[in-house]
Chains A and B, each alone.
Chain A
Amino acid sequence: MQSQSQSQTAPPSPSPYRPAEGRYDEMVGADHQPREHWATLSASLAELDAEELLRRQVEADRLLQEDGAVYHAYESETGPWEPWKLDAVPVVLPSREWTSIEHAVSQRAELLSLVLSDLYGPRDLLRRGLLPASVVFEHDGFLPSCQGIRLPTDHQLFSYAVDLGRDESGAWVVLADRTQAPSGSGYALENRNVMSQVLPSIYRGADVHRLEPFFRQLRAALVEAAPRGIEDPRIVVLTPGPWNETAFEHALLSSRLGYPLVEAADLVVTGDGVHMRSPGQLEPVHVILRRVDASYCDPLELRPDSQLGVAGLVEATRRGMVSVVNTLGSGALENPALMRFLPDIAQHLLGHDLDLPCVPAWWCGDETELAYALEHLDELVLRPISRAAGKSSIFGAQCSAAELDDLKRRILHHPSRWVAQAPLDLSDVPTLTPGGLAPRRNVLRSFAVARGEGFAVMPGGLTRVAPNDDPGPISSQAGAIAKDTWVIASEPEATGSLALLGGPLSEEANPLGSLSAGAAENLWWLGRYAERTEALVRLLRVVHDRRNEFHGSNDVAGIATLNVLRDALATVSDTQRGMSDDPWSEVLSMVTDGARAGTLAHGIQALLESAHGVRDQLSGDTWLVIGDLDRGLSGIRGRANVRAPELQRSLQRTLQGLLALQGLGAESMMRDLAWTFLDGGRRIERALQMIGLLRGTIPSAPAGLTGSLVLESVVTAAESIVTYRRRSRLHWHLETVLELLLLDEDNPRSVAFQLKQLALDLGAVPNPGSTRLRSDQKRVLEATTALRTCDPSELVGPYGGAKVAELDAFLAGVEHQLREASEAVERDHFLLRLPQQRITGEIR
């Protein structure tokens, strides 16, 4: 359709940006001219035609994909991961206006911080009647077990985010407070990273405030939050895991801040505090940057069904042995009814009004306000205070008469659980659509972090625009599109309040350069799956080639070889050999059937899962490769009519991806503990795969022509054919093959080579308090000794064939040692947490 219209008419000229009637437009003023602070960007945008803008958008999407920037929308139909959506046109704010926003955000954070200390302390606000007790107690964010928890810092609210919108008059209004574990600052950083590449010259020319200083403030704030007396605190980022909606951001923050990303199972509370399980030892942890909802953080004192928590964490926090930020219980401030009472609270606690007004609100627990809310139900936004009343906000204007009746009934059932808010006609910002720039409503999330006596505010933030013209909430879960937010410096890097804040900006490397046991385990398995899939691809290619050569022919030796290889494929991959006579469908299934354990698709899936679990450890380029690997098989997955060249190409592409991954590991990773486990996993798997290949082929291959063909196939699958030919020309000797693939410590494909490297890797794992070899090292040493003392001629029979029983027993012995070594590594270094169970003291 498109090509047709293009051939007949000229491409439609871009329609000029037309602001919507009656709403405030960020870019265009009442005089229909661009506002002063938009002038530069607006002129630059006018120079780029619509097509060029869309090209920049494609570029932005590509950069985001390369970085693996994703968001997990729980309701998504397209799979667990949604690409992070960023509009290629930023939103601009002038420095002068920003200074007042910054001041107001900081002021509000200060007030909320005081409210937080009161709620879990004296509860003076409740006693004085400034805040109805039921409003506090009915909100799910209020956690009674967290009574008395205090940070050693001035402010009890560590980090804060606020959603701001502009009303028709252009005035800023507070829409919502985020205090549980505010998300978005990492996405804002990613937006900036991408936009500075997509509009490089415009960005450079615009004097945009940089975001990095905010993250330095965040680091310094984390250090300040440490328990008293801890000079050199160990800090970790606690994530619910790789499947969380904002997991991308958790990994980004952890690697940007330089603190390990941990899951609950990586932490343990003992009598002297919180520790991270790290290979072979426990390391102290003093500050936890929490991205797990508080109620899930401790199965002992909070939700008993939580698997995302650390037993004893509340107690450790209560005793001040660790600082969890935001503090457990901080979600109480996200109460939508709190806004209704905040103006009076501000007067009481600060002695003056808040600079930024909240959106007008009515608490239905008050009879007059209830009456107002019911009367204006069809215009207001109704927000439940507790989950018992409902989960999401209801927009009265979008309700049918029947729905309004139902809403009224629900409110009257328990009025004090509802708060009504005036809807806000949010301002528009020009947003790229297929038809050119269009006005879209937008919300700005601003971020602040407690520093010393004040708060540091990120100069900029995360702007989100509605995906279309419909009214309704603007959130990432509802498909909103992000925008980079440019605060234009009136003078270079006028850092506002950031500069006023004293105190050191910590720039030293994180002292905890170590690794959590969970990350070590994921890296180990990443290495193992990478090798396992690589070995499988190579063997599949050989089987595929031999099939092309011999399937349906009368070549007896060729057919026999093909049979040996098919058996080997089943043994090596630990699957059942297919019943089909045609090796084709079997190969196809071995490649694409993700539901079948041992197949290539299955292995790649496992590899990707391991990679997601340690994304903070992997270099940015890794996601280029990971994305390729994910897509390598997508063309042929689930299809029955795949042709040979297509399969060949898919295998080739997958192999390329695996090799690129290997290259990144070799060339872009620090030789630290993380690398040690990745490499160790690779080495042990490569050795096991080689032994599996040898055991699966050679004992069942007779001497003679078939034997030679089998040996050639094995050496090819082992990626050693060039070396072999150089050494032996065209003669196939089992003894030479065994030398090359088993014993030659200089062949990077041989078992002996892997063991040499594995011993080095395991030697690099800390062994506190002991100089003796651990059991994993002992097993590897025993296997190495077996190889070094073996005489390959004794494993070869008089006619050049194998002494089947002896050879197999020898290989089985080495394999056994390696499997024991692997088990010892898993047992001793990953310090796995056993399954968590609840006990109660009730017999009934």
Chain B
Amino acid sequence: MSSKYKITHRTSYWYEANVSASYGRMRLLPRDLARQTCLESSISVDPSPGDHSQYLDLFGNRVDYVSIHDPHRTLSITAESIVEVQAAPPLPLAGNVSWESVRDGIGRIGGDEDVLAVQFSLDSPMVEASEAFEAYARPSFTAGRPVVEAVLDLSSRIHRDFEFSQSATSVDTPIEQVLEQRKGVCQDFAHVGIACLRSMGLPARYVSGYLETDPPPGGVRLVGADVSHAWLSAFVPGAGWIDVDPTNDQVPGHRHIVTAFGRDYTDVSPFSGVIYTRGRTSSLEVVVDVLGLE
């Protein structure tokens, strides 16, 4: 089974005073993956940028770079793409190896996969392994338990133990605080999951993307009411990376669209920029729409 989506992601800024120059860097276009194909994609910027280029980062994500050199008071960036996503494959048999064997094998095998695995098992700017995370994770990682089973159990526990709350955290809330207050949003839950896996000595990466949402029961589908989504991915030697979505207690399937992955949010933030101005940003609007095409 596969699904096709049209995704629109528009970010708009209004500034108090003239901005003399803006520089932006975005990861807004879906990646090509084994179960996902990006059929069309484009990014448009208003005012029209003096410079626009694209490159692949260390993790293979598509990054757009733009700069604007004419004075401006508003800025809007619109990313549009059409993407086809396959349903999740059945969980791999390789996942039956014990989580300890995965832990002990990291950094000892050599080769591309191993280098990546090491990179995702280390601390990163927003996620540091700690005893607190190890203590939280421990009940899921009983001796000899198959790694996939342990990871799924961890994801379910995060879903059960943590309350979804838009107001409890901000982008910069430290994850230790999230663990303490047991509240947050998808970004926080992904970070908590990653911190747990790394505290157990396992590699884990952050995945950013979108999720097709259903209209409220009896309601109509509202255009632009969607949001960006985030989950995490765990490494299983021989089988690659297994995604889990603790926010929804799901294994991501044909409704999850992947934009980018990295060590944590800082590697994949959809848009970050530097502007030069005397004023402040008076308002910011983000509109995301995930439209099912077939």
Asked if A835 and B278 make an inter-chain contact with CB atoms under 8 angstroms apart, the answer reads yes
Find the residue from B26, B272, B284 having the highest chain A CB count within 10 A.
B272
Contacting pair B65 A842 (CB below 8 A): no
CB-CB under 8 A for A841 and B270, given A133-B115, A270-B67: yes
B107 in contact (CB, < 8 A): yes
Interface string of A136-155 (1 = CB under 8 A from B): 01100000110110000000
Chain A interface category by residue count = 35 or more
Q: Is the interface of A mostly helix, strand, loop or mixed?
A: loop
With A and B bound together, what is the CA distance between A842 and B281 in angstroms? 13
Q: Are A137 and B170 in touch, CB under 8 angstroms? A: no
Cβ–Cβ contact A843 & B273, under 8 A: no
Q: Which residues of B contact A318 (CB under 8 A)?
A: 55
The docked-state distance in angstroms from the alpha carbon of A834 to that of B19 is 8
Once the chains bind, are B51 and A270 in contact (CB under 8 Å)?
yes
Flag whether A8 is at the interface (Cβ < 8 A): no
Q: Does A184 contact B (CB under 8 A)?
A: no
Query: Are A271's CB and B50's CB within 8 A?
Result: yes
Q: Is the CB of A844 within 8 A of B119?
A: no
- The CA-CA distance from A834 to B274 in the complex, in Å, is 11
Contact of A147 among B57, B118, B278, B284 (CB under 8 A): B57
CB closest residue in chain B, given A838: B274
Do B110 and A137 touch (CB < 8 A)? no
Contact of A839 among B13, B20, B123 (CB under 8 A): B13
**Count, chain B residues at interface, CB 8 A:** 52
| B140 contacts partner chain A, Cβ-Cβ < 8 Å | no
CA distance A270 to B66 in the complex (A): 10
C-beta contact mask, A804-844 vs B, less than 8 Å → 1, else 0? Answer: 00000000000000000000000000000111111111111
Q: Is the CB of A843 within 8 A of B286?
A: yes
- Supposing A311-B23, A835-B278, A844-B171 touch, asked if A129 and B271 sit within 8 A by C-beta, the answer is no
Of residues 244 through 275 on chain B, the ones whose CB sits less than 8 Å from some CB of chain A are 267, 269-275
Cβ–Cβ < 8 Å partners of A837 in chain B: 274-277, 280-281
- Knowing A147-B58, A270-B51, A844-B185, the reply to whether A134 touches B107 (Cβ < 8 A) is yes
Query: For the complex, what is the distance from the CA of A489 to the CA of B185, rounded to whole Å?
Result: 70
A 294-332 contacts with B by CB, 8 A: 299-301, 304, 311-312, 315, 318-319
Task: Indicate if the CB atoms of A841 and B110 lie closer than 8 Å.
Answer: no
Expressed in whole angstroms, the Cα–Cα distance for A161 and B8 within the complex equals 51
B128 partner residues in chain A, CB cutoff 8 A: 388
Residue in chain B with minimal CB distance to A268:
B21
Which listed residue, B65, B110, B272, touches A129 by the CB 8 Å rule? B110
Out of A133, A269, A311, A388, name the residue touching B114 (CB < 8 Å): A133
B88 within 8 A of A: no
Contact of B57 (CB < 8 Å), options: A133, A144, A270: A144
CB-nearest residue of chain B relative to A129? B110
Cβ A844 vs Cβ B169 within 8 A: yes
In the complex, are the beta carbons of B20 and A834 less than 8 A apart?
yes
CB distance from B257 to the nearest CB of A (A): 17
Bound-state CA distance A160–B64 (Å) is 34
The residue of chain B having its C-beta at the shortest distance from the C-beta of A146 within the complex is B58
List of A residues within 8 angstroms of B269 by Cβ: 840-842
* Of A129, A268, A300, A834, the contact of B273 (CB 8 Å cutoff): A300
B67 and chain A: residue at smallest CB distance? A312
Closest chain-A Cβ to B272's Cβ sits at a distance in Å of 5
Task: Name the A residues within 8 Å of B161 (CB-CB).
Answer: none
Which residue of the partner chain A has the closest CB to B22?
A839
Residues of chain A from 105 to 154 with CB closer than 8 A to chain B in the complex: 123, 126-129, 132-134, 137-138, 144-145, 147-148
Contact between A300 and B185, CB atoms less than 8 A apart: no
What residues on A are CB-neighbors of B20 within 8 Å?
833-834
Residues of chain B contacted by A123 (CB below 8 angstroms): 115
Task: List the B residue with the shortest CB-CB distance to A132.
Answer: B107
Residues in B neighbouring A126, C-beta threshold 8 A: 115
Q: Does B157 contact A (CB under 8 A)?
A: no
User: Does B221 sit at the interface, judged by CB under 8 A?
Assistant: no
Instruction: Tell me, rounded to whole Å, the shortest Cβ–Cβ distance linking B26 to chain A.
Output: 8
B218 lies within 8 A of chain A by Cβ: no
Q: How many A-B residue pairs have CB under 8 A?
A: 127
Tell whether, in the assembled complex, residue B111 and residue A127 are in contact, meaning their CB atoms are under 8 Å apart: yes
Q: How far is the CB of A144 from chain B (nearest CB, A)?
A: 5
Say yes or no: A839-B275 contact (C-beta < 8 A), given A127-B111, A270-B51, A270-B67: yes
Check A839–B122 contact: CB distance below 8 A.
no
Name the residue of chain A whose CB is nearest to the CB of B12.
A841
Q: Mark A453-464, 1 if CB is under 8 A from B, else 0.
A: 000000000000
Cα-based distance from A527 to B21 in the complex (angstroms): 31
Neighbouring A residues of B119 by C-beta, 8 Å:
133, 137
CB-CB under 8 A for A133 and B111, given A144-B57, A837-B274, A840-B269: no
Chain A, residue nearest B169 (CB): A844
Cross-chain contact A144 with B51 (CB below 8 angstroms) = no
The answer to whether A833 touches B272, judged by C-beta atoms less than 8 angstroms apart, is: no
In B204-249, which residues have CB < 8 Å from any A CB?
none
Cβ contacts B76-108/A at 8 Å (1 or 0 each): 010000000000000000000000000000010
- The contact of A270 among B69, B107, B267, B273, by CB within 8 Å, is B69
Q: List chain B residues, Cβ under 8 A from A838.
A: 272-275
CB closest residue in chain B, given A834: B276
B112, A127: Cβ atoms under 8 Å? yes
Greatest chain A CB density within 10 A among B11, B69, B273 is at B273
Which parts of A242-271 form the interface with B (CB within 8 Å)?
Answer: 268-271
Q: Which residues of A contact B273 (CB under 8 A)?
A: 300, 838-840
Residue of A nearest to B26 (CB): A841
Q: Which of A312, A835, A836, A841 contacts B272 (CB 8 A)?
A: A841
B-side contacts of A300, CB under 8 Å: 23-25, 272-274
The contact string, 1 if C-beta is below 8 Å from chain A, for chain B 30-60, is 0000000000000000000011010101100
- Which of A269, A270, A311 counts the most chain B CB atoms within 10 A? A311
Shortest Cβ distance from residue B282 to the other chain A in the assembled complex, whole angstroms? 12
Q: Which of chain A's residues have a CB closer than 8 A to the CB of B274?
A: 299-300, 304, 311, 836-839
Check B25–A301 contact: CB distance below 8 A.
yes
Contact B284 A843 (CB under 8 A): yes
Question: Which A residues touch B11, using CB under 8 A?
Answer: 841
Which of chain A's residues have a CB closer than 8 A to the CB of B267? 144
Q: Which residues of B contact A842 (CB under 8 A)?
A: 171, 269-270, 286
Q: Are B118 and A834 in contact (CB-based, < 8 A)?
A: no
Q: How far is the CB of B205 from chain A (nearest CB, A)?
A: 13
Would you list 7 pairs from A and B whose C-beta atoms are within 8 A, ordered by A residue? A271-B69, A300-B24, A311-B274, A312-B67, A834-B20, A837-B274, A844-B185
Q: Which 8 pairs from chain A and chain B are nearest by CB? A: A841-B271, A271-B51, A133-B118, A834-B276, A311-B23, A311-B274, A841-B11, A147-B58
Give the A-binding residues of B (Cβ under 8 A): 11, 13, 19-21, 23-26, 50-51, 53, 55, 57-58, 65, 67, 69, 77, 107, 110-112, 114-115, 118-119, 121-123, 128, 166, 169-171, 185, 267, 269-278, 280-281, 284-286
- Known: A271-B67, A844-B171; 18 extra A-B contacts, CB below 8 A, are A126-B115, A127-B112, A133-B115, A133-B118, A134-B121, A134-B122, A145-B58, A271-B50, A300-B274, A312-B51, A315-B53, A834-B20, A835-B278, A838-B273, A839-B275, A839-B284, A843-B284, A844-B166
